Every structure is written in C-alpha cells, then in structure tokens.
Amino acid sequence: MRTHFCGLVDEALLGQSVTLCGWTDVARNLGGVCFIDLRDHEGVVQVVVEPDQAALFEVAASLGYEDVLRVVGTVRARHSINDRIRSGRVEIVASEIEILNKAGKLPFYGHENPGEDSRLKYRHLDLRRPEMQRMMRTRIKLVQALRRHLDSAGFQDIETPILTKATPEGARDYLVPSRVHGGQFFALPQSPQLFKQLLMMAGFDRYYQIARCFRDEDLRADRQPEFTQLDMEFAFVRERDVQDFVEDMIRKVLREVDGIELEQPFPRITYAEAMRRYGSDKPDLRIDLELIDIAEAVRGCEFKVFAEWAEHADGRVVALRAPQAQLSRKQIDDYAAFVTRYGAKGLAWMRVDDLARGREGINSPIAKFLSDEAIAAILKLANAENGDLLFFGAGTYKTVSDFMGALRLKLGRDLGRVANAWKPLWVTDFPMFEWDEEGGRYVALHHPFTAPAVDDIADLRANAKIAVSRGYDMVLNGNEIGGGSIRIHRTDMQAAVFELLGIEAEEAQLKFGFLLEALNHGAPPHGGIAFGIDRIAALIAGTESIRDVIAFPKTASAQCLLTSAPSPIPAAQLKELSVKVDLPQG
Ligand code: ASP
C-alpha cells in the first residue's frame, strides 16, 4: 500500500516516486498551491499540489483534519527548509491522492490541548499526537532495553497468575468472583511476590517479569489502579548481589534509552539518615537543602513547643535554611498553611538580616522566647548567612520529618534550587515494622516476607520496635523507582514474623500455608526487587504524569473514560456469580 514512511522521506530520495499513507495534519490552500502536512508514526512530510492539477487540487482543497490519505508523488527539494524535522528539506509533488477514510467531526484537533478528560475519553486521538507518540516510544524502548539486558544475563521470563490469592503489599485487593465456586473470590495480584519466591524455591535461580500489578488504593493524584513492574528475583544472594546487578542494569539501560549518565556507584544512605537529613525515605538529592536538628540549642527555652519536643523521647525540633530567600509575610504564611497539610501545627521562622548584630540582627516572632545563646546556637547549627530565612518545625519525629521534608521539596522548587541533574541513590536499613496506632499492632514496612537483619527469632521478638529489615529502595530524583529485599527463607522465622504482625497461626496457615510449607522443602536464601516501569518511563520522557506513558490509563478516580469502566452488570450475570449488590443508602 505504501513504499515509505512519511517522517523518513529525506534528500536521499530526491527525484524518486514514493507512495505514502497517513493522516492530514493540516491542509493549507494558498489559492495558487495547496500544501498538505501528511503525518504517520515516523513524523510529517509536506505534500504539494500544484494548481495545474485541477482534479487533484479539488481533492486537496476539500481535506479536513485527520482525513486518512494515500499519496503518490515525486520527492523534490523544498524552498523553505525546516531543519527541525528529518523530511524538512524535501517535499512530495503529488500525482495521486486517494482519500482512504474521511474523518468526521473531531472532539479536538492534534495541536490543541484538549484537557485531561477529553484526552482519556478519545485516547486514540490523543495518542496520535507526536508528543504522545514520543513518550510511548520512550516506554517501549525502556522495556526492550531491560528485556535485552536481563535475557542476556540469563534471567528467566516467567508469567505468574493474574487470578490468584491476595498478596499483602499494603493495599486493598481487586476481587473477581468465581462462578464455579459460588461465594468465593480470586484476588488480582498486588505483585507476583509469592510466586517469584516460589520460583526460586523451584530452582529457576533468576527470574524476571514485566508484570501488571493491581492495587485498590485511595485516590492519589498520580497512582494507577493497575501498573507495570519489572519484577525480579534471585536465588543465593545477599543485598549487595541484587543491588550491584540492578544498579548496573539501570545505569546501562538509561544510557542506552536516553543517553542519561548516572554516577557510579550510587550514593547509599540508611533510612534513618534519609529521615534525619531530608525528612523523606525517597530524598530528592537534586535539592541542596537539608534539615538541621536544633533540639540541643532550644532545650529549656521559653518557647514551650520547642522546649517540650526537645525533651520528648520521640520528639524532634529542626531548622530548614532557605538561603537568600526574600519572602514576604504572605509567602511565609502560605508556607505555614502548606505544612499543615502534612500534619504541622505551626511553622516558626526567623529572618537573618545581620549576623554580626546577634539578636538585633534577626527578625522572628519567636525571638522573644529565645535567649541570646539559643539564638546564637541556632544560627551556628544552621550555618545561617545574612539574607537567609530559617523555618522551624517541632513535634513527633515522624510528623516533623514529614512536614519539613515536604517543605524542603517545595522551597527547593520555589527557590529554583532543583539542579538539572540525575540523582540516584540507595536507601537501606529500613525499619522492619511500623506501629499502626489505629489497629494497635505492627505492620510490615515493606511486606511480611522481608527478612529482618537479625537471624535470631528471640532477638527479633525482643527488639521488634527497633528491628531493621533487609529491605532497600532505589530512588531517582525524589522518586522511589525500585524497592525490594532479601526474603525470609526459613519457616520458623516467617511464622514468627506473621505472629509479630498479629497474624494468628491459624490465619497464617489459611492464607500462607503453602508458603510456610514450601519454605520447609529446601528454600534457598533469595531476594529481589521490583521497578516501577511507568514511573521510570515518565522520568525519562520528561513528564510529571505516569498517564502520559500508559497507553490506556485510568483517571485519578480509577475509571476508564474510554470504555466507561467500571460499569454495572446485568442482574442475570450477577446471579450466575452468586453476587448481590448492596449499595450504601443515599
Ligand atoms: N513485591 C515488592 C513490591 O511490589 C517488590 C519486592 O519486594 O521485590 O513492592
């Protein structure tokens, strides 16, 4: 049907006859001549219809956006050169134009920004846009490069079930009713976690899968209910074996896909240090601001909030220095309002006008509650300079870290302190458990199959509160792009961890009996990691939204606007599934 792709026609074809197919990007009738920009997946080429071709001219003049054409013509050099595109030095003089399909009224045209809802509803049109084609191809290249890398390193690509049993990764399950077993349900996998572990027990040694995962989470701006992971597992490994392999993989693949150079080796910090310095377990190291603990400087001061939290066993008082920040009172108030969203009760501040003048040289609503020594100590700890603004946070360790960490990111962006760079790192030594106030029990910070750093069960039981796990995350520019761990490979340890998580022996048997048994059948030490393909593709493609690198994404409220899913199903079908719908009133 065609001889060449539109976007690839160039000077090498001068004088030749070509047959092209594509969409009418624009058609311009300039009275004398008619120009058609013909577009396919490779790009655009200019087609010219000269006035002496009366019949052709009529066809060309009738064209509308997105009409589908087949054009036969000769390649010739072009007068007005466009060096931004490959075909920019040539044009096609048409001898034949066939309208393969005329487009009807369109909800939007290629060059408009139609708004997210329209884009998702008419995704086929949205994806036709060159920018979307570029972003989707970035994803395709990424997955290809990962596969190549892993295939050549001897990893086995194995599919795991989609209709399965719940695997706890901390979200709700999507459930599928079984027709044959009325009243019973499959869960869609939150991850292939248990299957990949079983594959290690089955002797496959190294596994990977580009795996779809499903998590029914509460609405968050950039989450998708289904997303894609590069899921990996290795037998007979310790942390560094996994980390070194995947660090090398990510470095090579990002170089190959987009010429991105990542430092070697990645910096490594512990979870505790990440929280202390950045108030986050996925610090964005492109921003050079750090949290500074000042409890020692404000202990016993008259500012009650500081004094109290400086003494508290689980308290934290920190300063964040905004270098040379000329902020108005209104802007400061806006930051105070911003941090309340992250649990802050207030945000104290201090402007540093003239260091040499001590108390006289600063401006702060809390200065009157601070001694000269305290002020001097704060300024020293914060390394303050004239023109700086210091923000302060006090409260529980977790709350302060959260809101000051969020403030660090916001200030970094607002003050233009985000370096134009790629900043990867490893975060290690995560806590094993988190105390869930509401449930009154421990929950696994990673997942319940993550090994603790200690081998001894009695030790783990005695020190559960401060136990460290063998989990690790890879972080890039403030995004957790991969997370994994060394797993528990002994039945007794797995049973003990279930017990610490408040999963009764009976429940553990019911839910994970198959795992406990398999661990007892000669399970090798093993570990792995999973990378978020959508997020990595978005980062490389330079877009904020993972929806831009997913062909058919869902909205933030977990709906597909294209197909109108989810949707009610007929009563007969429900009956067949032994399912009754019981919607809340109102
Ligand atoms: N299953 C984990 C997750 O999906 C990744 C891993 O531990 O390998 O986050």
Tell how far the Cα of 482 is from the centroid of ligand 1, in angstroms. 8
User: Sorting pLDDT into bands at 50, 70 and 90, what band is 110?
Assistant: low
Give the model confidence (pLDDT) of 477-517 as tens digits. 999 999 999 999 999 999 999 999 999 999 999 999 999 99
Collect all residues with Cβ–Cβ distance below 8 Å to 95 and sequence separation of at least 6: 17, 53, 56, 72, 73, 74
Tell how far the Cα of 156 is from the centroid of ligand 1, in angstroms. 18
Which residues are registered as beta bridge partners of 109?
Answer: none
Helix (H, G, I), strand (E, B) or coil at 575: helix
pLDDT at position 172 is 93
Give the model confidence (pLDDT) of 397-427 as tens digits. 999 999 999 999 999 999 999 999 999 999 9
User: Would you say residue 168 has pLDDT above 80?
Assistant: no
d(CA 298, CA 23): 68
pTM score, two decimals?
Answer: 0.95
User: Would you say residue 396 has pLDDT above 90?
Assistant: yes
The DSSP annotation for 141-194 comes to HHHHHHHHHHHHTT-EE----SSB----SSSBPPEEE-SSSTT-EEE--S-SHH
Give the lowest-confidence range in 104-118, 293-307, 382-396: 104-118
- Angle at Cα 564 formed by Cα 558 and Cα 570, nearest 5°? 110
Give the model confidence (pLDDT) of 211-256 as tens digits. 999 999 887 778 899 999 999 999 999 999 999 999 999 999 999 9
Q: Which of 446, 486, 526 to mutate to test the pocket of ligand 1 (most atoms within 8 A of CB)?
A: 446
C-alpha distance from residue 111 to each of 66, 131, 319, 473 (Å): 12, 10, 47, 40
Which residue, 308, 305, 304, 276, is CA-closest to 292? Answer: 276
Ligand 1, closest atom to CA 229? 4
Give the model confidence (pLDDT) of 313-367 as tens digits. 999 999 999 999 989 999 999 999 999 999 999 999 999 999 999 999 999 999 9
Strands 156-157 and 206-214: parallel
Q: What share of the chain is helix, strand, coil (3-state, %, to 5)?
A: 35, 25, 40
Collect all residues with Cβ–Cβ distance below 8 Å to 252 and sequence separation of at least 6: 145, 149
pLDDT at position 234 is 98
- Ligand 1 pocket: which residues have CB below 6 Å? 169, 191, 193, 229, 447, 483-485, 528-530
User: Sorting pLDDT into bands at 50, 70 and 90, what band is 146?
Assistant: very high
For residues 136 and 127, is the Cβ–Cβ distance under 8 A?
A: yes
d(CA 347, CA 526): 46
Give the model confidence (pLDDT) of 431-488 as tens digits. 999 988 888 899 999 999 999 999 999 999 999 999 999 999 999 999 999 999 999 9
Tell how far the Cα of 296 is from the centroid of ligand 1, in angstroms. 39
Bigger pLDDT: 326 vs 518: 518
Tell how far the Cα of 116 is from the centroid of ligand 1, in angstroms. 30
For residues 426 and 243, is the Cβ–Cβ distance under 8 A?
A: yes
Q: Which of 160, 169, 173, 193 to mutate to test the pocket of ligand 1 (most atoms within 8 A of CB)?
A: 193
pLDDT at position 568 is 95
Count of C-beta atoms within a 10 Å radius of residue 21: 18
User: Would you say residue 130 has pLDDT above 80?
Assistant: yes
C-alpha distance from residue 153 to each of 156, 199, 205, 237 (Å): 9, 17, 12, 15
Measuring from atom 7 of ligand 1, which residue has the nearest CA?
Answer: 484
Tell how far the Cα of 507 is from the centroid of ligand 1, in angstroms. 22
Ligand 1, closest atom to CA 192? 1
Collect all residues with Cβ–Cβ distance below 8 Å to 468 and sequence separation of at least 6: 429, 430, 431, 432, 452, 453
Tell how far the Cα of 199 is from the centroid of ligand 1, in angstroms. 15
